[in-house]
A = this chain, B = another copy of it.
Amino acid sequence: MLTAREAEVLNRIDRDELLGDLSALIGIESLGGAETPAQQWMAARLAGLGLEVDTWDIDFPALKKHPAFSMEVERERGLGVVGTFGGGEGPALVLNGHVDVVPVGDISQWTVPPFAATIRDGQVFGRGACDMKGGIAAALAALAALAASKVTLAGRVALQSVIAEEDGGAGTLATILRGHRGDGALSMEPTELMLAPTHAGALSFRIRVPGLSAHGCVREEGVSAIETFRPVHDALLALEADRNRRLRQPLFARYRLPYALSIGRIGAGDWPSSVPDLLLCEGRYGIAPGEDAEAAKTEFESAVSSAAAGQAYLAEHPPEVEWWGGQFMPATTPMDAAIVSATTEAITELTGQPPRVEGMTYGADMRLLVNQGGVPTVLFGAGNVRRAHRPDESVPIDDLLTVAGVIALTALRFCRGS
């Protein structure tokens, strides 16, 4: 049952303002490495809501020394932004959202402009709509309602607006190291309104598969790296199938491949009529919660080595595996953590039923909050990750409003508002 005060705050959640914020954010082309304008917008917006805003230049040279640091896109500059509502000594709630988005891919497959919001059929379309500018806009709407209702918290709620999530989490790591922690955290990643107390890991890898160059007109004098790659590719597909059979977990029951080994980029050759002497293959290697990441890497390297050993050229010229860029470890928050019960209660209150609980297959900044920050964290957000990282990314507006309500109610109860 909602109290009258809670109902008053929830009523102040403004749909138009939420859509306005989300449209503004989609309109800022905040690809990895180019997040500063989006962060400046966030800092101004948070200040406009009357929050105390901490804005700072991230010290990348210092950050790179941290063992949990990983980053794929080179950045010379990047901003940290945290807006805090309330300053009490009671329980502190963290809201975490990233402003960086992934590239648009093949633009011809989009039916809407990626960097201008399109509102249609109850959804918002655009790059980042669900991953995760929608979640940030929902958090802003919740904070705006708390502020407009002049709520007083025994504790405090802070929105961490971060960069570089997609390529390794440097923004959240910097935020934690600056001292922004709390007693529980909610990260607004797209979970389709499910509650996710666990997520898989994903380690970025690069494989260099050698070949031997030759003029294409006598191609058998060379060895095409496109052809030497084939058995390596087969071995990776087999490894993925085997691991996903072996490492099944109940919270990931609906996925055939919860720990996907996905190749995201390959490139070979520099001239159409030369035989390519090198194939570069980059991708993400899914890791199960609780799995030993070092053992999983060894398993991957062994699969590549075995494939190479069975191939005439690669046996003598073995491929090289490199772990680089985003190294997203898995993370799990215990089911009896306060943030789990608080969000479960708020979701049940607002949707009329307890949330479906599932693990997410993607790596996320949650791991840094949990593993580095010691903050019990859940993922909860609007939209489907199946619509992220692809053309016509979208998010349902009703679900954004639900997320905003759940955040406001969780903040009121978790941080003891009045």
The verdict on A77 contacting chain B, using a C-beta distance below 8 Å, is no
Query: Roughly how many angstroms separate A282 CA and B256 CA in the complex, as a whole number?
Result: 34
The verdict on A333 contacting chain B, using a C-beta distance below 8 Å, is no
| A235-271 contact mask (Cβ, 8 Å, vs B): 1 or 0 | 0000000000000000000011100101111111111
The verdict on A222 contacting chain B, using a C-beta distance below 8 Å, is yes
Which residues of B lie under 8 Å from residue A272 when comparing CB positions? 72, 204-205, 264-265, 282-284, 325-326
Query: Roughly how many angstroms separate A151 CA and B212 CA in the complex, as a whole number?
Result: 47
CB proximity of A72 to chain B, nearest CB, Å = 7
Which residues of B lie under 8 Å from residue A219 when comparing CB positions? 257, 260, 262
Contact across chains for A256 and B220 when beta carbons are under 8 A apart: yes
The verdict on A4 contacting chain B, using a C-beta distance below 8 Å, is no
The verdict on A411 contacting chain B, using a C-beta distance below 8 Å, is no
The verdict on A396 contacting chain B, using a C-beta distance below 8 Å, is no
Instruction: Give chain A interface residues in 383-400, CB to chain B under 8 Å.
Output: 385-386, 388-391
The verdict on A29 contacting chain B, using a C-beta distance below 8 Å, is no
Chain A interface size, under 10 / 10 to 19 / 20 to 34 / 35 or more: 35 or more
The verdict on A382 contacting chain B, using a C-beta distance below 8 Å, is no
Instruction: Give chain A interface residues in 41-87, CB to chain B under 8 Å.
Output: 72
Query: Who on chain B is nearest to A269 by CB?
Result: B265
- Out of B202, B216, B255, which one reaches A284, CB within 8 Å? B216
Contact across chains for A386 and B214 when beta carbons are under 8 A apart: yes
The verdict on A123 contacting chain B, using a C-beta distance below 8 Å, is no
Which residues of B lie under 8 Å from residue A269 when comparing CB positions? 263-266, 282
The verdict on A178 contacting chain B, using a C-beta distance below 8 Å, is no
The verdict on A274 contacting chain B, using a C-beta distance below 8 Å, is yes
Which residues of B lie under 8 Å from residue A257 when comparing CB positions? 219-220
Query: Roughly how many angstroms separate A274 CA and B265 CA in the complex, as a whole number?
Result: 8
The verdict on A352 contacting chain B, using a C-beta distance below 8 Å, is no
Contact across chains for B260 and A264 when beta carbons are under 8 A apart: no
Copies of chain A in the complex: 2
The verdict on A111 contacting chain B, using a C-beta distance below 8 Å, is no
In the complex where A213-B109, A283-B216, A385-B215 touch, is A264 in contact with B255 (Cβ < 8 A)? no
Query: Roughly how many angstroms separate A166 CA and B102 CA in the complex, as a whole number?
Result: 37
Contact across chains for B326 and A204 when beta carbons are under 8 A apart: no
Contact across chains for B204 and A217 when beta carbons are under 8 A apart: no
Query: Roughly how many angstroms separate A212 CA and B108 CA in the complex, as a whole number?
Result: 12
Query: Roughly how many angstroms separate A120 CA and B363 CA in the complex, as a whole number?
Result: 55
The verdict on A228 contacting chain B, using a C-beta distance below 8 Å, is no
In the complex where A265-B268, A268-B266 touch, is A361 in contact with B217 (Cβ < 8 A)? yes
Which residues of B lie under 8 Å from residue A213 when comparing CB positions? 105-106, 109, 389-391
Contact across chains for B106 and A216 when beta carbons are under 8 A apart: no
Query: Roughly how many angstroms separate A263 CA and B263 CA in the complex, as a whole number?
Result: 20
Which residues of B lie under 8 Å from residue A274 when comparing CB positions? 102-103, 105, 264, 389-390
Which residues of B lie under 8 Å from residue A200 when comparing CB positions? 217
| A273-293 contact mask (Cβ, 8 Å, vs B): 1 or 0 | 111111100111010000000
Which residues of B lie under 8 Å from residue A277 when comparing CB positions? 105-106, 109, 390-391
Contact across chains for B106 and A389 when beta carbons are under 8 A apart: no
Instruction: Give chain A interface residues in 279-323, CB to chain B under 8 Å.
Output: 279, 282-284, 286
| A100-144 contact mask (Cβ, 8 Å, vs B): 1 or 0 | 001101100100000000000000000000010000000000000
Contact across chains for A389 and B268 when beta carbons are under 8 A apart: no
CB proximity of A74 to chain B, nearest CB, Å = 15
CB proximity of A145 to chain B, nearest CB, Å = 31
In the complex where A226-B263, A226-B266 touch, is A273 in contact with B389 (Cβ < 8 A)? yes
The verdict on A380 contacting chain B, using a C-beta distance below 8 Å, is no
The 4 A-B residue pairs with the shortest CB-CB distance, nearest first, are: A216-B262, A217-B362, A265-B269, A215-B389
Q: A214-B390, A215-B362, A264-B273 are known contacts; what are 4 more A-B pairs with Cβ within 8 Å?
A: A72-B272, A217-B284, A220-B256, A264-B272
